[in-house]
Structure 1
Amino acid sequence: MDSPLKSPGRLPSLSALRAFEAAARLGNLARAADELFVTHGAISHQIKALESQLGFKLFARHGRGVVLTPQGQRLASTLNGAFGAIASEISAIAQEQQRPRLVITCLPSFAAKWLTPRLGEFIGQHPHIELWIRSTKTRENLAAEDIDLGIRVGEGKWPGLYLEHLMDDEFAVVASPHLAGGLPASPADLSRYLLLRSDTEPWARWFEAAGIAGSEPQGSMVFNDSALLVQAAAEGQGIGLARASLIQPELASGKLVKLFDLTVPMPGAYWIVAPEAPPWRPAVATFVAWLKQKASAG
């Protein structure tokens, strides 16, 4: 199988490059020798050998000292960035081995009603992984903010990100079994009740599927967080149009009941998004596998 790694081509010796980078950064051959625990003569010899191999000068004499040539400045800048990136990656890998950290972002409603109730199982299976959950409605820049994974809802059109389908969802009509005035006998009776919905999830599509004429009901309560909608419905404040994925704990406990068999599909889907495609580091791959297993289990 072909390796995804590219050949770096022919390079000078690493010790010579390190000697030059240190001398360029510190502005002094003697200080570079101290940093690398070698003699001043060794640093001078390595830089001269490097210049001979490259075919151009890296330093020029300036009085009793030396200054970088334009070519030396270019190479020093490149080496400094490369060595810094290597050191940073080694540090990150070492920290990952000690206790890997996993940063995840998702909607507050998904975090509260779907993810958090299941996380105890993951933590129990993988206590060495430190989870950071960022619940927000703001679409964050994963790469810029060092976020490993996002769980988003939509059509899956987010350029520059790697996407995997997580699950679909649907809307169901739910209410507290102790709703004041009793539960409606048919969809037509909904007009007598206070209706609850999310600000992005209107009743119109469900009414159309139920064969109820008319536009969006005026007597409704609108939430900007679907988790608050579920809580309000469970407390008997009205009848809610809720995502099926977010009401399972309330249905299981009896705080909510599903009023009708009719459901309508949620536009779009839930997606796992990442700043880059697999292969991922072990903690990320482990969490994604667990997440997909939980989604498929319902």
Structure 2
Amino acid sequence: MSRDLPPLNALRAFEAAARLGSLAAAAAELYVTHGAVSRHIKALEAELGTALFQRQGRGLALTPAGHRLHEAAAAAFEPLRRAWAGLRGAGETPLVLGCPGSLLARWMIPRLERLKADLPGLRLHLAASEGTPDAALTGLDAALLIGTPPWPPGWQVHRLGDERIGPVVSPRHPAHARLAGAGPEALLDEPLLHTASRPGAWPEWARRNGLDPAALRLGTGFEHLYYLLEAAAAGLGVAIAPQELVQADLDSGRLAAPWGFVETGGEWALCTRRGDTGPRVAALAQWLRRELHA
């Protein structure tokens, strides 16, 4: 007779290996041998009749079946870890908040002193990441994101505010004076700075301004928004960004936004696993919402 659930020890070994990307690291975390972790995973694979991992260089990569099982395992183990920590009196552990590196550097870090003053009882551990976290929010208690719904169905989403994006240019840009006095169509003649993390930002802005996205000329690209905006501030071209992430630069005159900002249909959101909302998350969501609308 087949079992309804996998063996718990085997599932723990698999979840640790999937989360850490290494059999050796999983063995160290679980205080067992490398061979024990390997045998547990092979037992699961034999019972399922399919591979859960494949070799990728020196590390491991999950197969499609492995991804599916890891999402389910992480969703089960993470609440257990938090509940166990609370029962052991670890209720004062930091709240692990993930957010994209550019958002962390340009928006959260400048506000940390105010956050500590306003919410003195909240201990935060900030984890920089790029891209959207996995559906289980593995390793995180919450994530601060700018994105477009729908969000994963297993998330509890605290909507904080609308996303607004717009082009920004430095007074150091050789064509700043000409561009600042022209309409949005002037940007069709400019090689535009862009970022791989938001490939749809320029086309979305163009559509919202009645321009043909196909007519845009993309220039230098950057992996992260932070570098994109530093290049714009150095006068290397016109960039595009969420208003809140460049507001300090606009206030200081380091950047200008001659064409303003438009809503994208996206939103700022604080996301947790569904059912995980507690007083710390509720207080943080309220504070973030207030900061965005300040």
TM-score relative to the length of structure 1: 0.61
Whole-angstrom distance in 2 between the partners of 1:85 and 1:259? 48
1:102 corresponds to: 95
Cα distance change, pair 100–195 in 1 and its aligned pair in 2 (3 A): same
Contact persistence 1:176–1:235 (CA under 8 A): yes
CA distance in 2 between partners of 1:235 and 1:150 (Å)? 31
Q: Mapping of 1:93-242 within 5 angstroms?
A: 94-96=89-91, 99-141=92-134, 145-152=138-145, 153-183=147-177, 184=179, 185-186=181-182, 187-199=184-196, 200-213=199-212, 215-242=214-241
- Inter-partner Cα distance in structure 2 for 1:179 and 1:203: 19
CA distance in 2, matches of 1:234, 1:136: 24
Q: Give distance in 2, aligned partners of 1:128 and 1:95.
A: 14
Provide the rounded CA distance (Å) in 2 between the counterparts of 1:156 and 1:167: 15
Contact 1:227 1:246 in 2 (8 A): no
Amino acid at match of 1:238: G
| Matched-pair contact (CA < 8 Å) for 2:190–2:217 | no
Residue in 2 aligned with 1:293?
290
Q: Secondary structure at the match of 1:168?
A: strand
Separation in 2 of the partners of 1:240 and 1:259?
12
Q: Any stretches of 5+ residues in structure 2 without a counterpart?
A: 1-80
- 1:273 maps to what in 2? 271
How far the C-alpha of 1:154 sits from its partner, in A, is 2.1
Shift, 1:126, TM fit: 3.7
How many Å separate the matches in 2 of 1:286 and 1:151?
14
User: Does structure 2 retain, via aligned residues, the 8 Å contact 1:163–1:272?
Assistant: yes
CA contact (8 A) 1:154 1:267 kept: yes
CA distance in 2, matches of 1:276, 1:287: 16
Residues of 2 paired with 1:122 and 1:101: CA distance? 14
Number of residue pairs matched by the alignment: 208
* Counterpart residue identity of residue 95, structure 1: A
Deviation at 1:136, TM superposition (A): 0.8
For residues 126 and 267 of structure 1, the distance between their equivalents in structure 2, rounded to whole angstroms, comes to 30
How far has the Cα of 1:209 moved from its partner?
4.0
Amino acid at match of 1:108: G
Map 1:67-106 to 2 at 5 A. Answer: 88-91=85-88, 94-96=89-91, 99-106=92-99
Cα distance in 2 for partners of 1:144, 1:279 equals 14
Structure 1: where are the runs of 5+ without partners?
A: 1-83
Write the distance in 2 (CA, Å) between the matches of 1:218 and 1:86: 52
Cα deviation 1:191-239 (Å, max 9, x = unaligned): 4433112332342343344444561433422233222222211111101
Highest CA radius of gyration, 1 or 2?
A: 1
Identity score, percent: 24
SS class of match (2:90): helix
- Tell me if structure 2 keeps the 8 A contact 1:156–1:271: no
Correspondences of 1:6-21 after superposition (within 5 Å): none
**Cα gap change, 1:111 to 1:144, in 2 (>3 Å):** closer
Distance 1:120 1:171, change over 3 A: same
SS at match of 1:105: strand
> CA 1:211/1:224 → structure 2, altered by over 3 Å: closer, same or farther?
same
TM superposition shift of 1:159: 1.5
* Whole-angstrom CA distance in 2 between matches of 1:158 and 1:222: 29
Asked whether the equivalents of residues 149 and 272 of structure 1 are also in contact (C-alpha less than 8 Å), the reply is yes
Structure 2 CA distance, aligned partners of 1:86 and 1:272? 21
Q: What TM-score do the two structures reach when normalised by structure 2?
A: 0.62
What is the one-letter code of the residue matched to 2:114? E
Task: Note if contact 1:202-1:216 (Cα within 8 Å) is conserved in structure 2.
Answer: no
Deviation of the 1:143 alpha carbon: 5.2
